Structure 1
Amino acid sequence: RYGSGPSDNSSDVEEPEAASVGWGAGEDGAAMSSSSEGNLGWQWFKDPRLACLGFRGIFPSNIIPPLIEADKETDEQNYLMWRIEKGVAEGSIEIPKGEAMPLEYNLVGLNAISFDKGCYVGQELIARTHHRGVIRKRLVPLRFQDNDGKEIINRFIPGSEVVNTGSGKKAGLMTTALGCRGLGLLRLVEALKGSTALSIQGQEDVKVVASKPDWWPSDWLQDLQQYTAFA
């Protein structure tokens, strides 16, 4: 359940009744509209990652999950597109086990890492890099266009290299693709510097446009700003 549609720029959802869209197979026969536990034993929880990702519902397996009153029902793909546009990866396919660096996948900004409790493999390295280092690569939302700026819907292969069209140098990897949208783990100085043209290796007619999610803290781009100032 998430706010409005994939093209909405709203970054906050106060209550599930406000501008919400549900996806699923059921209908709200009782027209119930509560964000807390009801007499059917269901309950809504805010997504802990970002407010713009809306609410999650946990329902008993023997009932049809009720939708909030006045909601519209939509296909799951619209939610996936919304999440990708916000630059949020999830699951072991989009965040490879044993390979992904949590800081590069922006997990600090998604409330997925605590620096105050717990103990895990790599904790010291992650904490040191977070407080003292610079994250030069990050996961960013991508759009695929032709040379005229028209969006291209194609079956792009995750893992394809994204290259700087001018220099031919590798800028990073496309990790996820859905229609004309995707996610890519790219060097920030390549991805978000306006003068850089990006494309997919072997598909130079496909223009890759990277963008900065609006929920990113400003200090994440400090390295990019310094690079631009001295370039």
Structure 2
Amino acid sequence: MALLRFRSHIRRLFLTGIRINQARFFSQQAGSRLDDAGPLACRLASRSVIRFRGPDTVKFLQGLLTCDVRPLADIASLDGEPNSSSSSPSSYFPISIAPFQSPPPRYAALLTPQGRFLYDLFLYRPPCPHQKLNWTGTAPGTHETEEALSLLADVDASFLDEILGCFRKYKLRSKVDIENVSEELSCWQRFGGKLSESEPIQEPEASSVGWGGAMDHSSMSSAHGNGSGWQWFKDPRLECLGFRGIFPANIVSPLVEADMVDDEQHYLLWRIERGVPEGSAEIPKGEAIPLEYNLHGLNAISFDKGCYVGQELVARTHHRGVIRKRLLPLIFTDDREIELNQEVSPGSEVVDRGTNKKVGMVNIAVGSRGMGLLKLEEALLKKQVSLSIKERTSVRVKTSVPDWWPAEWTAQLHEQQCGSLS
């Protein structure tokens, strides 16, 4: 016991030192240096975890959310489910002890009936008990014959009660339980420059840490008793965002001790620089049109899944093919192009510096970076336009096209530019 306490003390000192060094690093740098500071990992205090469980889980969510939820359940036919002729658990468990491969998580949005954004969420399929090894790694876990499908979702913590109330309002007679499990589970993100290099990134070796994989005894303290199956996943939105996962709330997630356990503010900055919004504050609840906030480019929207709440506006906007405003990453500078820190607040109007005509609005600002919903014609197409903050012409606003934008979006910009010149 004394040895364990000593190791715990050393680990706390190690993590504290990392946080101090990171704070010094970022305070000494002008602008963002996150591309050179990775990989980093942080617990997302801005997100909470809820659980959907019951025989109608997939049907219930399929009719509400913008993404196709069915792939999270389809794996049941391929994942070693026992068949009716099997009488022993070992008859359906794979002969080789290989890690259970959970289906990739899904990113989705819940909309109003009028097609406006309400909430975003990440859906995960945790493995069932029979898909996991016991804690020794030598035999299958327990099996319940009538086990109901369970899905976990990480959601905006600021609107947790509203989100639970909204889903329960739609529940009606559906056989699905919706519960807050934030005290048991938390969401983590791994990100940083070394996770977004040009070569395709691979999942960390997380499958070997927990249930269903080769046993890593150095990780037994964190893997023992895990009910969710340790696993990091590629962020379902973009490869450059790194990895995401849900883990028990009382520990540091696996495979991050060699990384830098960091403050969530740096993950926020990482997203802002890439023009990726998250949550109902950055994507205004009840107001935002999903396609203007690029949710289709972030894999949140399926256009062939069938009906869901708010589908009509999304489909009409998509098939019309003309989106005149989009969320863009912003940089705030002075006239000498020196970045200005803490000079702009969310809600500030972005205007044409010459005519004072409104071009858009700043949604979020951190230091010298931000994101804003701007008219594409003025923000990107008219080269002679100079943008600034309304009534503060000394604060210039620079916009850019994120690297991850699909090629067809760029082509549409060129078409609009040609049309405006003709």
Cα deviation for residue 120 of structure 1 reads 2.8
Q: Aligned pair 1:190/2:362, yes or no? A: no
Contact 1:200 1:208 in 2 (8 A): yes
Structure 1 residues 17-96: aligned runs within 5 Å: 34-35=206-207, 37-38=209-210, 39=220, 40=223, 41=226, 42-68=230-256, 70-96=258-284
Q: 2:290 aligns with which of 102, 108, 111?
A: 102
Contact 1:137 1:187 in 2 (8 A): yes
Give aligned-pair identity as a percent: 59
- Residue number in structure 2 paired with 1:130: 318
Structure 1 residues 144-223: aligned runs within 5 Å: 144-193=332-381, 194-223=383-412
Secondary structure of the 2:341 match is coil
Unaligned segments of structure 1, at least 5 residues: 18-32
Q: Aligned pair 1:15/2:15, yes or no? A: no
Unaligned segments of structure 2, at least 5 residues: 1-189, 211-219
Secondary structure of the 1:183 match is strand
How many residues in Structure 1 have an aligned counterpart in Structure 2? 214
**Structure 1 segments (4+ residues) deviating >4 Å:** none
- Residue number in structure 2 paired with 1:20: none
Secondary structure of the 2:378 match is helix
- Residue number in structure 2 paired with 1:25: none
Contact 2:196 2:240 in 1 (8 A): no
Q: Which amino acid aligns with 2:254?
A: P
Could you tell me how far apart the structure 2 residues matched to 1:185 and 1:63 are?
38
Could you tell me how far apart the structure 2 residues matched to 1:43 and 1:106 are?
28
Could you tell me how far apart the structure 1 residues matched to 2:245 and 2:251 are?
13
- Residue number in structure 2 paired with 1:4: 193
Farther-moved stretch of structure 1 (117-126 vs 153-162):
117-126
Q: Which amino acid aligns with 1:121?
A: V
- Residue number in structure 2 paired with 1:22: none
Farther-moved stretch of structure 1 (72-81 vs 182-191):
72-81
Contact 2:282 2:363 in 1 (8 A): yes
Write the deviation string for residues 154-177 of structure 1: whole angstroms up to 9, x where unpaired: 242211110011222111111110
Secondary structure of the 1:177 match is strand
Q: Give TM-score scaled by structure 1 length.
A: 0.84
Q: Which amino acid aligns with 2:278?
A: E
Secondary structure of the 2:351 match is strand
Q: Which amino acid aligns with 2:359?
A: A
Write the deviation string for residues 97-128 of structure 1: whole angstroms up to 9, x where unpaired: 21000000000000111111242333122112
Could you tell me how far apart the structure 1 residues matched to 2:320 and 2:412 are?
12
Could you tell me how far apart the structure 1 residues matched to 2:235 and 2:401 are?
21
If each structure's helix is expressed as a fraction of its own residues, which one has the higher value? 2
Write the deviation string for residues 130-182 of structure 1: whole angstroms up to 9, x where unpaired: 12230000000000000000000024221111001122211111111011000
Farther-moved stretch of structure 1 (214-223 vs 89-98):
214-223
Q: Which amino acid aligns with 2:409?
A: W
Could you tell me how far apart the structure 2 residues matched to 1:9 and 1:189 are?
30
Alpha-carbon distance change, 12 to 161 in structure 1, aligned in 2, over 3 angstroms: farther
Cα deviation for residue 9 of structure 1 reads 7.2
